[in-house]
Chain A
Amino acid sequence: KQEVTQIPAALSVPEGENLVLNCSFTDSAIYNLQWFRQDPGKGLTSLLLIQSSQREQTSGRLNASLDKSSGRSTLYIAASQPGDSATYLCAPQANQAGTALIFGKGTTLSVSS
Protein backbone atom coordinates (compact mmCIF):
# COMPACT_ATOMS: atom_id res chain seq x y z
CA LYS A 1 0.00 0.00 0.00
CA GLN A 2 1.45 3.32 -1.07
CA GLU A 3 2.17 5.80 1.73
CA VAL A 4 3.31 9.36 1.22
CA THR A 5 5.16 11.51 3.74
CA GLN A 6 5.92 15.19 3.34
CA ILE A 7 8.57 16.96 5.36
CA PRO A 8 8.45 19.51 6.88
CA ALA A 9 4.77 19.67 7.85
CA ALA A 10 5.01 23.46 8.10
CA LEU A 11 7.57 26.03 7.05
CA SER A 12 7.84 29.79 7.62
CA VAL A 13 10.36 31.83 5.64
CA PRO A 14 10.99 35.48 4.82
CA GLU A 15 10.34 36.69 1.32
CA GLY A 16 13.13 36.02 -1.16
CA GLU A 17 14.39 32.75 0.29
CA ASN A 18 14.93 29.66 -1.82
CA LEU A 19 13.35 26.59 -0.28
CA VAL A 20 12.95 22.84 -0.73
CA LEU A 21 9.91 20.75 0.07
CA ASN A 22 10.39 17.02 0.44
CA CYS A 23 8.12 14.14 -0.48
CA SER A 24 8.82 10.45 0.12
CA PHE A 25 6.76 7.44 -0.92
CA THR A 26 7.01 3.78 0.01
CA ASP A 27 6.17 2.04 -3.30
CA SER A 28 8.60 2.95 -6.08
CA ALA A 29 6.42 1.31 -8.77
CA ILE A 30 4.97 4.62 -9.90
CA TYR A 31 4.58 6.06 -13.35
CA ASN A 32 4.36 9.74 -12.54
CA LEU A 33 4.19 12.18 -9.65
CA GLN A 34 2.20 15.37 -9.47
CA TRP A 35 2.73 18.41 -7.25
CA PHE A 36 -0.24 20.54 -6.25
CA ARG A 37 -0.88 23.77 -4.44
CA GLN A 38 -3.92 24.23 -2.20
CA ASP A 39 -5.09 27.52 -0.74
CA PRO A 40 -7.18 27.30 2.48
CA GLY A 41 -10.60 25.77 1.83
CA LYS A 42 -10.01 25.64 -1.93
CA GLY A 43 -9.38 23.00 -4.54
CA LEU A 44 -6.02 21.76 -5.79
CA THR A 45 -4.04 23.56 -8.47
CA SER A 46 -1.68 21.40 -10.49
CA LEU A 47 1.87 22.78 -10.44
CA LEU A 48 4.02 20.14 -12.09
CA LEU A 49 3.69 16.62 -13.44
CA ILE A 50 6.87 14.53 -13.58
CA GLN A 51 6.87 11.39 -15.65
CA SER A 52 9.25 8.77 -14.23
CA SER A 53 11.35 8.91 -17.38
CA GLN A 54 11.81 12.69 -17.03
CA ARG A 55 13.21 12.81 -13.48
CA GLU A 56 12.85 16.61 -13.43
CA GLN A 57 10.35 19.30 -14.48
CA THR A 58 10.47 23.08 -14.33
CA SER A 59 7.83 25.80 -14.42
CA GLY A 60 8.88 29.36 -13.74
CA ARG A 61 10.34 29.54 -10.22
CA LEU A 62 9.39 25.94 -9.50
CA ASN A 63 11.54 22.89 -10.12
CA ALA A 64 10.55 19.36 -9.17
CA SER A 65 12.73 16.29 -9.25
CA LEU A 66 11.90 12.62 -8.95
CA ASP A 67 14.07 9.70 -7.82
CA LYS A 68 11.92 6.59 -8.13
CA SER A 69 14.52 4.18 -6.82
CA SER A 70 14.84 6.02 -3.52
CA GLY A 71 11.14 6.91 -3.34
CA ARG A 72 11.73 10.65 -3.18
CA SER A 73 10.66 13.85 -4.88
CA THR A 74 11.59 17.43 -4.08
CA LEU A 75 9.95 20.71 -4.99
CA TYR A 76 12.32 23.64 -5.18
CA ILE A 77 10.85 27.16 -4.98
CA ALA A 78 13.19 29.97 -5.94
CA ALA A 79 12.93 33.52 -4.60
CA SER A 80 9.81 32.86 -2.54
CA GLN A 81 7.01 35.46 -2.44
CA PRO A 82 4.09 36.01 -0.03
CA GLY A 83 1.76 34.79 -2.77
CA ASP A 84 3.45 31.39 -2.55
CA SER A 85 1.88 30.88 0.90
CA ALA A 86 -0.27 27.75 0.64
CA THR A 87 -0.22 24.03 1.32
CA TYR A 88 1.82 21.98 -1.14
CA LEU A 89 0.86 18.37 -1.81
CA CYS A 90 2.67 15.68 -3.73
CA ALA A 91 0.86 12.69 -5.22
CA PRO A 92 2.45 9.67 -6.91
CA GLN A 93 0.37 7.62 -9.32
CA ALA A 94 0.77 4.01 -10.44
CA ASN A 95 0.64 3.09 -14.12
CA GLN A 96 -2.66 1.31 -13.97
CA ALA A 97 -6.17 2.17 -15.09
CA GLY A 98 -8.47 3.14 -12.28
CA THR A 99 -5.70 3.97 -9.85
CA ALA A 100 -5.80 7.03 -7.69
CA LEU A 101 -3.43 9.75 -6.73
CA ILE A 102 -2.13 9.02 -3.23
CA PHE A 103 -1.60 12.10 -1.11
CA GLY A 104 0.38 12.95 1.97
CA LYS A 105 -0.75 15.62 4.43
CA GLY A 106 1.22 18.29 2.64
CA THR A 107 3.62 21.04 3.66
CA THR A 108 2.06 24.33 4.73
CA LEU A 109 4.25 27.22 3.61
CA SER A 110 4.07 30.74 4.97
CA VAL A 111 6.16 33.45 3.30
CA SER A 112 6.34 36.76 5.14
CA SER A 113 7.05 40.11 3.50
Chain B
Amino acid sequence: ETGVTQSPTHLIKTRGQQVTLRCSSQSGHNTVSWYQQALGQGPQFIFQYYREEENGRGNFPPRFSGLQFPNYSSELNVNALELDDSALYLCASSPRTGNTEAFFGQGTRLTVV
Protein backbone atom coordinates (compact mmCIF):
# COMPACT_ATOMS: atom_id res chain seq x y z
CA GLU B 1 0.00 0.00 0.00
CA THR B 2 1.56 3.29 -1.09
CA GLY B 3 1.19 6.38 1.03
CA VAL B 4 0.48 9.96 0.02
CA THR B 5 3.04 11.33 -2.41
CA GLN B 6 3.56 14.93 -3.46
CA SER B 7 5.53 16.49 -6.29
CA PRO B 8 7.72 18.37 -6.65
CA THR B 9 9.45 18.43 -3.28
CA HIS B 10 10.88 21.91 -3.78
CA LEU B 11 10.44 24.69 -6.29
CA ILE B 12 11.23 28.35 -6.70
CA LYS B 13 8.93 30.72 -8.54
CA THR B 14 8.92 34.43 -9.29
CA ARG B 15 6.23 36.76 -7.99
CA GLY B 16 3.31 36.93 -10.43
CA GLN B 17 3.88 33.46 -11.87
CA GLN B 18 1.55 30.48 -11.61
CA VAL B 19 2.35 27.13 -9.98
CA THR B 20 0.81 23.64 -9.93
CA LEU B 21 1.45 21.20 -7.12
CA ARG B 22 0.47 17.55 -7.33
CA CYS B 23 -0.68 14.93 -4.87
CA SER B 24 -1.34 11.21 -5.21
CA SER B 25 -3.70 9.99 -2.52
CA GLN B 26 -3.28 6.79 -0.56
CA SER B 27 -4.83 3.73 -2.16
CA GLY B 28 -8.54 3.49 -1.38
CA HIS B 29 -8.86 7.14 -0.28
CA ASN B 30 -11.38 9.35 -2.09
CA THR B 31 -10.86 12.58 -0.16
CA VAL B 32 -7.93 14.97 -0.51
CA SER B 33 -7.30 18.11 1.53
CA TRP B 34 -4.65 20.78 1.00
CA TYR B 35 -2.96 22.83 3.70
CA GLN B 36 -0.49 25.73 3.73
CA GLN B 37 2.10 25.86 6.49
CA ALA B 38 4.12 29.03 6.93
CA LEU B 39 7.36 28.86 8.86
CA GLY B 40 6.75 28.46 12.59
CA GLN B 41 2.99 28.08 12.18
CA GLY B 42 0.55 25.19 12.14
CA PRO B 43 -0.98 24.09 8.83
CA GLN B 44 -3.89 26.19 7.54
CA PHE B 45 -6.73 24.52 5.60
CA ILE B 46 -7.01 25.59 1.95
CA PHE B 47 -9.71 23.28 0.57
CA GLN B 48 -10.93 19.71 0.35
CA TYR B 49 -11.97 17.58 -2.61
CA TYR B 50 -14.30 14.61 -2.37
CA ARG B 51 -15.07 12.51 -5.44
CA GLU B 52 -13.81 15.24 -7.79
CA GLU B 53 -15.86 18.06 -6.22
CA GLU B 54 -14.70 20.81 -3.86
CA ASN B 55 -16.69 20.29 -0.66
CA GLY B 56 -14.97 22.58 1.81
CA ARG B 57 -12.77 25.68 1.68
CA GLY B 58 -10.74 27.71 4.13
CA ASN B 59 -10.04 31.44 4.12
CA PHE B 60 -7.96 31.57 0.95
CA PRO B 61 -8.54 33.80 -2.12
CA PRO B 62 -9.85 32.42 -5.43
CA ARG B 63 -6.38 32.44 -6.97
CA PHE B 64 -5.93 29.22 -4.98
CA SER B 65 -7.80 26.56 -6.95
CA GLY B 66 -7.73 22.82 -7.29
CA LEU B 67 -8.77 19.72 -9.11
CA GLN B 68 -9.35 16.12 -8.24
CA PHE B 69 -9.12 13.43 -10.90
CA PRO B 70 -11.07 10.16 -11.29
CA ASN B 71 -8.18 8.25 -9.66
CA TYR B 72 -8.54 10.70 -6.70
CA SER B 73 -5.16 12.33 -7.23
CA SER B 74 -5.27 16.10 -6.93
CA GLU B 75 -3.68 19.35 -8.01
CA LEU B 76 -3.32 22.67 -6.24
CA ASN B 77 -2.97 25.68 -8.53
CA VAL B 78 -1.91 29.10 -7.36
CA ASN B 79 -2.10 32.07 -9.73
CA ALA B 80 -0.42 35.47 -9.44
CA LEU B 81 2.05 34.28 -6.83
CA GLU B 82 2.87 36.62 -3.97
CA LEU B 83 5.88 36.58 -1.67
CA ASP B 84 3.61 35.52 1.23
CA ASP B 85 2.70 32.35 -0.67
CA SER B 86 6.14 30.99 0.25
CA ALA B 87 5.36 28.03 2.49
CA LEU B 88 5.24 24.27 2.84
CA TYR B 89 2.16 22.93 1.04
CA LEU B 90 0.77 19.73 2.48
CA CYS B 91 -1.65 17.27 0.98
CA ALA B 92 -3.67 14.87 3.12
CA SER B 93 -5.83 11.98 2.00
CA SER B 94 -8.63 10.25 3.90
CA PRO B 95 -10.78 7.20 3.19
CA ARG B 96 -13.88 9.41 3.26
CA THR B 97 -14.90 12.95 4.06
CA GLY B 98 -15.87 13.96 7.59
CA ASN B 99 -14.70 12.33 10.80
CA THR B 100 -11.83 10.17 9.69
CA GLU B 101 -8.08 9.82 10.04
CA ALA B 102 -5.96 11.93 7.69
CA PHE B 103 -2.64 10.86 6.22
CA PHE B 104 -0.20 13.48 4.99
CA GLY B 105 2.41 13.56 2.26
CA GLN B 106 5.93 14.91 2.70
CA GLY B 107 4.97 18.35 1.41
CA THR B 108 6.14 20.72 -1.32
CA ARG B 109 8.34 23.63 -0.28
CA LEU B 110 7.42 26.64 -2.44
CA THR B 111 9.65 29.71 -2.43
CA VAL B 112 8.43 32.85 -4.19
CA VAL B 113 11.12 35.43 -4.99
Question: Is B107 at the interface (CB under 8 A from chain A)?
Answer: yes
Q: What is the chain A residue whose CB lies nearest that of B106?
A: A43
Residues of B within 8 A of A101 (CB): 33, 35, 43, 45, 92, 102
Whether the pair B107, A46 counts as a contact (CB closer than 8 A) is no
**Interface readout for A26-46 with B: 1 if CB under 8 Å, 0 if not?**
000001101010000111111
Of the 9-residue stretches A12-20, A62-70, A88-96, which lies at the interface with chain B? Answer: A88-96
Residue A100 contacts which of B4, B33, B40, B106 (CB distance < 8 angstroms)?
Answer: B33
**Interface readout for A94-110 with B: 1 if CB under 8 Å, 0 if not?**
11111111111110000
**Interface readout for B79-113 with A: 1 if CB under 8 Å, 0 if not?**
00000000010101000011111111111010000
* Complex: A99 Cα to B98 Cα, angstroms: 6
Whether the pair B104, A46 counts as a contact (CB closer than 8 A) is yes
Whether the pair B48, A100 counts as a contact (CB closer than 8 A) is yes
Whether the pair B42, A97 counts as a contact (CB closer than 8 A) is no
Residue A41 contacts which of B33, B58, B101, B109 (CB distance < 8 angstroms)?
Answer: B109
Question: Is A21 at the interface (CB under 8 A from chain B)?
Answer: no
Whether the pair B42, A34 counts as a contact (CB closer than 8 A) is no
- Given that A43-B107, A100-B33, A100-B58 are known contacts, is A105 also in contact with B42, CB under 8 Å in the complex? yes
Whether the pair B98, A45 counts as a contact (CB closer than 8 A) is no
Residue A45 contacts which of B99, B100, B104 (CB distance < 8 angstroms)?
Answer: B104
Question: Is B50 at the interface (CB under 8 A from chain A)?
Answer: yes
* Complex: A42 Cα to B107 Cα, angstroms: 6
- Ordered by A's residue number, 28 sampled pairs between the chains whose C-beta atoms are within 8 Å are A4-B42, A32-B99, A32-B100, A32-B101, A41-B107, A43-B4, A43-B6, A43-B90, A43-B107, A44-B43, A44-B104, A46-B103, A46-B104, A95-B98, A95-B99, A97-B55, A97-B56, A98-B48, A98-B50, A98-B56, A100-B58, A101-B35, A101-B43, A101-B92, A101-B102, A103-B42, A105-B42, A106-B42
Residues of chain A having any CB pair with chain B under 8 Å:
4, 31-32, 34, 36, 41-46, 49, 51, 89, 93-106
Across chains A and B, which 5 residue pairs bring their CB atoms closest together, nearest first?
A98-B56, A103-B42, A100-B45, A31-B99, A98-B55
